[in-house]
Amino acid sequence: MTDPEANDDVPEQQVEEAAPAAVSYHRQMSVSEAAESSGAGLNAPSWLAWFEYPFAVPDPDTGKKLPEATGWAMDSVGRGPLNQVGSYTGSAILRAAIREAGCFDCTTHGFKPSSLLTLMTSIVGVIAAILMPIVGAVVDHTAHRRMLGVVSGFLAVALIGAQIFITEDNWFGMLIIDAVQTFAFLVHTTTVFAYLPDLTLDQNVLSHYTSRFNLRQ
């Protein structure tokens, strides 16, 4: 028989070391979050709070509505129509280029009309491949994440709005504008998605958020 009091001689330090330590997962605040938590940046006026109501996404566990999640939902709704603009402006640019060239297989500005959109996409892709690492560094390691998102979003919307005035006389300029707005929109999307992991550390809650964002988009 083992003496139940035999373990009384074991030092308390050894008993504490034998117990498994509780593991906690805490994400360290990024440089951008620390800068934004100080109060610096742009803030919407309080009287516009009613406009946020349809976009609020409550936490499935607590029922709380985070303002960051509401902002992400609003941005997601705005990105939806912007993604569809290219199908309309691209078609208009292609038709204007064909009319200027005279036929589908003729050339204008040194290229076939059917190759212009592909060429533009390739150029934007190469530029993005070169500059996106710089954009990512600014987003993740500086205090300019929010300002970069605001400027790139405003620039993308303004350039897309300018394409309303496309005609057969300015289609080539609109092609260049479309290339610039494509890059600006890509920068904005990169900035916005950097905020997504900060909404919650719970993967189930994050899945809930993303599904609601996609429904609104």
Q: What is the pLDDT of residue 12?
A: 53
In the predicted model, what is the mean pLDDT of residues 188-198? 89
pLDDT in tens, 4-24: 554 555 455 554 454 455 444
In the predicted model, what is the mean pLDDT of residues 43-68? 79
Q: What is the pLDDT of residue 17?
A: 52
Q: What is the pLDDT of residue 181?
A: 93
Q: How far apart are CA 29 and CA 142, in angstroms?
A: 12
Angstrom CA distances, 34 to 25, 62, 143, 213, stand at 19, 25, 8, 25
Q: How far apart are CA 173 and CA 93, in angstroms?
A: 10
pLDDT in tens, 24-34: 444 455 544 55
Contact 143, 32 (CB under 8 A): yes
Of residues 16 and 60, which shows the higher confidence score?
60
